[in-house]
Chains A and B, each alone.
Chain A
Amino acid sequence: MAEKTKEAARAEVDVFTKTIGTLREEVAKVIVGNREIVDGVLTCMLAGSHALLEGVPGLGKTMLVRTLAEALHLQFSRIQFTPDMMPADIIGTTVIEETEAGQKSFSFRKGPIFANIVLADEVNRATPKTQSALLEAMQEHRVTVAKTSYVLDEPFFVLATQNPLESEGTYPLPEAQLDRFFFKLHVGFPDRNELHSILERTTGVAMPTVNPVLNKAQILQMQHLVREVPISRHVQDYAVRLLQATHPMHGDSLDMVKRFVKFGASPRGAQALLLAAKIRSLFEGRFAASIDDVRVVALPALRHRVLLNFEGEAEGVKTDDVLREIMKHLPETLK
Chain B
Amino acid sequence: MNAPREQGLARIRRAATMVEIRMRLGRVVRTLPYVLIAGFLVVAVTVATRKLLFTHLSEPRARQILIATVVAAVVTLVIAALRRLPPRAGSNALDRSHQLADRLTNALAFSALPVAERTPLMDVAIEDAVAHTSRLKASRAAPIRLPWELLIALLLALPLVALLVLEIRIAIPVIAPIARTIDAPPMSPDDIELFKEAARELEKQNTTPEMKAAIEKFNQLIEDLANKRLDRTEAFRRMEELERDLMKGAEADAKKLEEQLRNTGMELSKSELAKPIGDALQKQDLEKAKKEMQALAEQMKAGKKLDKGALDRLKKAMEDAAKQRKESLAAINEKRQELRDEILKKKEEKKKKDDADAGAKEDEDEEQLLKKKERELEKLDREAESQERAGRQLDRLDRDLAKAAADLAKDLGLSAEDLQKAAEDINRMQEDQMSDKDKEELRKRLQELRELLRQQGQAGKERMKRMMKFGKRARGQQGQGQGQQGQGEGKDGEDGEDGEDGEPKPGQGQGQGQGSGVTVGLGQGAGQGDQPGGMPGGQPGGQGQNGGDANGGPPGQGYGTGHDANLKGDRTDLKGQTTATRAEAADTGQGPSNSEVILAAAERGFKGGPYKKVYKDYRTVAEQQINKDEIPDGYRFYVRRYFQLIRPRE
**B120 contact set on A, CB distance < 8 A:** 2, 5-6, 8-9
- Chain B facing A: main interface SS: helix
Q: Does B202 make an interface contact (CB < 8 A)?
A: no
Q: Does B152 make an interface contact (CB < 8 A)?
A: no
Q: How far is the CB of A231 from chain B (nearest CB, A)?
A: 8
> When chains A and B are docked, how far (Å) is the Cα of A228 from the Cα of B123?
12
> When chains A and B are docked, how far (Å) is the Cα of A235 from the Cα of B109?
10
**A288 contact set on B, CB distance < 8 A:** 102-103, 106, 110, 121-122, 125
> When chains A and B are docked, how far (Å) is the Cα of A228 from the Cα of B124?
12
Q: Which of B83-91, B392-400, B505-513 contacts A (4 or more CB under 8 A)?
A: B83-91
Instruction: Across the interface, name the chain B residue whose C-beta is closest to A332.
Output: B92
User: For this complex, into which size category does the number of interface residues on chain B fall?
Assistant: 20 to 34
Q: Does B45 make an interface contact (CB < 8 A)?
A: no
**B109 contact set on A, CB distance < 8 A:** 232-234
Q: How far is the CB of A221 from chain B (nearest CB, A)?
A: 15
Would B106 and A333 count as touching, CB distance under 8 A? no
> When chains A and B are docked, how far (Å) is the Cα of A333 from the Cα of B105?
11
Pairs A–B under 8 Å by Cβ, sample size 20: A3-B1, A6-B123, A9-B119, A9-B120, A228-B121, A232-B109, A232-B110, A233-B109, A234-B105, A235-B106, A287-B125, A288-B102, A288-B103, A290-B95, A290-B101, A332-B92, A333-B89, A333-B92, A334-B87, A335-B86
Chain A 278-292: CB-based contact to B (< 8 A → 1; otherwise 0) = 000100101111111
Chain B 120-148: CB-based contact to A (< 8 A → 1; otherwise 0) = 11111100100000000000000000000
Q: How far is the CB of B539 from chain A (nearest CB, A)?
A: 97
Best-buried of A8, A10, A331 by chain B (most CB within 10 Å) = A10
Chain A 310-335: CB-based contact to B (< 8 A → 1; otherwise 0) = 00000000000000000000011111
- Out of B88, B96, B123, name the residue touching A2 (CB < 8 Å): B123
* Chain B residues near A (Cβ < 8 Å): 1, 86-89, 92, 95-96, 101-103, 105-106, 109-110, 119-125, 128
**B101 contact set on A, CB distance < 8 A:** 281, 284, 286, 290, 292-293
Q: How far is the CB of A291 from chain B (nearest CB, A)?
A: 6
User: For this complex, into which size category does the number of interface residues on chain A fall?
Assistant: 20 to 34
Q: Does A243 make an interface contact (CB < 8 A)?
A: no
Q: How far is the CB of A230 from chain B (nearest CB, A)?
A: 5
**B96 contact set on A, CB distance < 8 A:** 332
**B121 contact set on A, CB distance < 8 A:** 9, 13, 228-230, 287-288
Identify which of residues 261-297 in chain A touch chain B, using a CB-to-CB cut-off of 8 Å: 281, 284, 286-293
Identify which of residues 1-54 in chain A touch chain B, using a CB-to-CB cut-off of 8 Å: 2-3, 5-6, 8-10, 13
Q: How far is the CB of A85 from chain B (nearest CB, A)?
A: 44
Asked whether A234 and B124 contact (CB < 8 A) given A284-B101, A288-B106, the answer is: no
> When chains A and B are docked, how far (Å) is the Cα of A219 from the Cα of B110?
28
Instruction: Across the interface, name the chain B residue whose C-beta is closest to A286.
Output: B101
Q: How far is the CB of B441 from chain A (nearest CB, A)?
A: 93
Would B119 and A230 count as touching, CB distance under 8 A? yes
Best-buried of A232, A284, A287, A291 by chain B (most CB within 10 Å) = A287
> When chains A and B are docked, how far (Å) is the Cα of A281 from the Cα of B92?
17
Q: How far is the CB of A255 from chain B (nearest CB, A)?
A: 24
Best-buried of A230, A235, A293 by chain B (most CB within 10 Å) = A230
- Out of B86, B88, B102, B119, name the residue touching A290 (CB < 8 Å): B102
**B102 contact set on A, CB distance < 8 A:** 232, 234-235, 288-292
**B95 contact set on A, CB distance < 8 A:** 290
> When chains A and B are docked, how far (Å) is the Cα of A230 from the Cα of B119?
8
> When chains A and B are docked, how far (Å) is the Cα of A235 from the Cα of B102?
9
Instruction: Across the interface, name the chain B residue whose C-beta is closest to A334.
Output: B86
